[in-house]
Amino acid sequence: MALSPFGLRPERWAALLLLAVLAGCSQTPPRQAGIPTPRTAPPAGGWFALPSHDHAQEVVLYALGLLDTGYRFGGKNPEAGLDCSGMVSYIVEQVSGRKLPYNAAGIAERTRPVATQALRPGDLVFFNTLGRAYSHMGIYMGDGKFIHAPSSRGKVRVDRLDSRYFSERFEGARTLLPDG
């Protein structure tokens, strides 16, 4: 029987590979004592914001252009594959020239909270998909839909906030829009 490069039998290697793929979209570290939850008051230097409201529409359009892009844990560009936070960071940098952190919790920490009923296209939505807050995120498109890079089915896609899976795991929303 041939062994994997790590000396594992094929069935154990396949199980480990499957576990890694199913682990979910996130580079988000688990919350630990001393690590703050996303702020409701601006961080030093203020909230991250796009230069204008027009940029939010560009974020949505850019995201739509990435539909069916392959998923890759830790992925930060479409050629190599994207995970959820890598997709958001990549899009924001392409649209605005400014960088966001490459993890969902870091992005939530730097962006201004927005009420769910006040969501606008281009806002960010966050979920607890791995038993820890802010472990998954996407970009709100309007009409209750968001685009994200989930590990399940492995491609950037559109889902609904009111779907049973995502509505039960919804953590909150943040905006990239400037105040006003």
Catalytic residues: 84, 136, 148
Closest C-alpha to 110, from 124, 120, 129, 122:
124
50 contacts: CB under 8 Å, gap ≥ 6:
56, 59, 92, 95, 96, 122, 176, 177, 178
- Calculate Rg over the CA atoms of the chain: 17
Q: For the chain, give me the number of helices (H) and strands (E)?
A: 5, 8
Closest C-alpha to 50, from 116, 112, 6, 101:
112
8-state DSSP, 79? T
Q: Alpha helix (H) ranges present in 31-145?
A: 54-64, 84-96, 104-110
Closest C-alpha to 156, from 57, 55, 71, 34:
71
